[in-house]
Amino acid sequence: MHAVHRDALAFLLVWVACVPAAASAQRGTIAEDPKVAEALEVMRVWLEAERAYDRIPGISAALVHDQALLWSGGYGRAHPETDAPATEGTLYSICSISKLFTSVALMQLRDRGLFALSDPVAKHLPWFTLEQTHPAEPAVTVEGILTHSAGLPRESAHPYWSAPDFPFPTRDEIIAGVRAQKTLYPAWKYFQYSNLGLTLAGELVRELSGMPYDAYVRRNVLEPLGLHDTYPDMPEEHRGGRLATGHAALDREGARHPTPFFQARGIAPAAGYASTVNDLARFASWQFRLEGDAKEVLRAHTLREMQRVHYVDPEWETFWGLGFSISRNEGRTFVGHGGSCPGYRSQLLIDMDGEVAAVFMANASGVNTAKYVRGMYDLVAPTIRAAAERTGDAAAIAGQAQDSAAAKRDIRLGDYVGTYSQQPWGGETAVVIWEGGLAMLNLPTDEPRTGLSKLKHVEGDTFRRIRADEALGEEVIFERDASGEVTGLRQHGNSRPRIRP
């Protein structure tokens, strides 16, 4: 499934046949659109290369459109010491993405009339006696903790982010610590991300439901959504198996060292969860189908309420809903969350209007996860939107595939697909199939969509680069050996050997 295919039509047929069962689509759907398939293949080439250049032991990722899992998979190693591969079924700590599940659980209870967002937290948690350093200002409210605007300190009074053992506190230790803590700012004045705040949200779930937090979330959120590979705390039973081994950020020598296993214990509602990319893809698909008057775990209007901006930082740089981070880019609104725990990074990016979500997980700290989900989205989402605008019937999509194959009978574009060395000047150039023709992508790159340079076939093994203004640039000539195999390319008169087919 990870191989680069040598013929555009063969690529499409092989890709459709190899998509996991959860991503299978009926003929005529967007998943079968040739341009979507091409974009997914470029995305995979980019993901695999970026992981290597970022020296991440293992990554897993998923791309979902509405109810279809278009692709999920993994690259590298979940456990480098045993050479165990990272796959779509690998478990990772998702750390602060945990906050989304806690927020959903709490809003369930709000919809049952058990509290109001304007309620002071102390109304429901009598032990919440944290000192108010600005007594004339508003109290710490439920809405304040869900939007990180309550003025709380970032953490509980314990050094759980400290190496080497990351001593996360128990619930009792958190309660005892609160009595000695103080608010940091007046409520609603600043955005201050707070793991303490979302830990309190988990305590509200416990108090208002009358159930242990993890039992309530499993019964009322995870199980109804079919998230059977999502755990409210790191699963000890999967250490060394499905749970990837975490690794630290790169040191000066460019090495990453394993981090110890941890459990977030009392901080679990804010940072404890473990999951797979397939489960977070299901979580995104639930959000896409929850619309109108529907109710599934939550009422549709409650989810929209959570994804609406409730707090804006005074500098207009941070926007937050109820649990959800909110951002704007090129006129589109995105919701989701990121996660960073010892040895792991993760990101969930959701375009609710476009019904597209990207999921990324890595078993290493210090990884720019936003780069990965944004790159995945930018490569594939435009082709999904374009496919949705077309007729979408089976005949139209089949016709596109036939036309694409017919256009390539005289030239096998797959012959040229692969990566070509740029050493010692840079990394490599990937030659990929894009929009029915060839394109070049220099790797590594943080912006794969804008980094693509399309090529126009001239004759034989000769192409020309298409400039941004559609004018033709320099020649790109592919070289073959005596057997006819493509062995390199020449651009600006200089050769680059082919290093990967």
Cα–Cα distance for residue pair 53/250, rounded to 1 Å: 12
Give the residues across from 335 on adjacent strands: 326, 350
Please state which of the ranges 65-74, 106-115, 289-298, 393-402 shows the lowest mean pLDDT.
Answer: 393-402
Predicted pLDDT at 410: 57
Determine the average pLDDT of the residues in 171-182: 97
- Residue 81 in any domain: the answer is no
Label residues 133-163 b or e (16+ Cβ within 10 Å = b). eeeeebbbbbbbbbbbbbbbbebbbbebbee
Determine the average pLDDT of the residues in 232-254: 98
Both 363 and 396 in one domain: the answer is no
Backbone angles phi, psi at 472, to 5 degrees: -90, 135
Give the domain-ending residue among 297, 332, 367: 367
Both 354 and 410 in one domain: the answer is no
Predicted pLDDT at 331: 94
Give the domain-ending residue among 336, 367, 398: 367
Count of structural domains within the chain: 2
CATH code for the domain of 476: 2.40.128.600
- Residue 41 in any domain: the answer is yes
Both 109 and 186 in one domain: the answer is yes
Both 25 and 99 in one domain: the answer is no
CATH code for the domain of 273: 3.40.710.10
- Residue 59 in any domain: the answer is no
Determine the average pLDDT of the residues in 194-205: 98
Q: What is the pLDDT of residues 10-26, one digit of tens each?
A: 333 333 333 333 333 33
Nearest C-alpha neighbor of 274 from the set 236, 240, 248: 236
Determine the average pLDDT of the residues in 36-56: 98
Both 348 and 416 in one domain: the answer is no
Nearest C-alpha neighbor of 138 from the set 187, 182, 185: 187
- Residue 77 in any domain: the answer is no
Query: Which one has a higher pLDDT value, 6 or 442?
Result: 442
Both 115 and 168 in one domain: the answer is yes
Both 48 and 99 in one domain: the answer is no
**DSSP 8-state symbol, 154:** S
Query: Structure tokens of 475?
Result: 């020649």
Cα–Cα distance for residue pair 343/119, rounded to 1 Å: 37
Both 180 and 276 in one domain: the answer is yes
pTM, two decimal places: 0.91
Q: What is the pLDDT of residues 367-382, one digit of tens each?
A: 999 999 999 999 999 9
Both 175 and 314 in one domain: the answer is yes
- Which 3 state secondary structure label does DSSP give 179? coil
Give the domain-ending residue among 367, 393, 426: 367
Both 399 and 490 in one domain: the answer is yes
Backbone angles phi, psi at 374, to 5 degrees: -70, -40
Q: What is the pLDDT of residues 388-436, one digit of tens each?
A: 887 554 445 544 544 444 344 457 999 999 999 999 999 999 999 999 9
Q: What is the pLDDT of residues 132-158, one digit of tens each?
A: 999 999 999 999 999 999 999 999 999
Predicted pLDDT at 6: 36
Q: What is the pLDDT of residues 247-263, one digit of tens each?
A: 999 999 999 999 999 99
- Residue 233 in any domain: the answer is yes
Predicted pLDDT at 89: 98
- Residue 376 in any domain: the answer is no
- Residue 86 in any domain: the answer is no
- Residue 323 in any domain: the answer is yes
Predicted pLDDT at 407: 45
Both 192 and 253 in one domain: the answer is yes
Predicted pLDDT at 57: 98
Both 216 and 281 in one domain: the answer is yes
Domain containing 145 equals 92-367
Query: Structure tokens of 490?
Result: 């020449």
Determine the average pLDDT of the residues in 57-63: 98
pLDDT at 48 over 70: yes
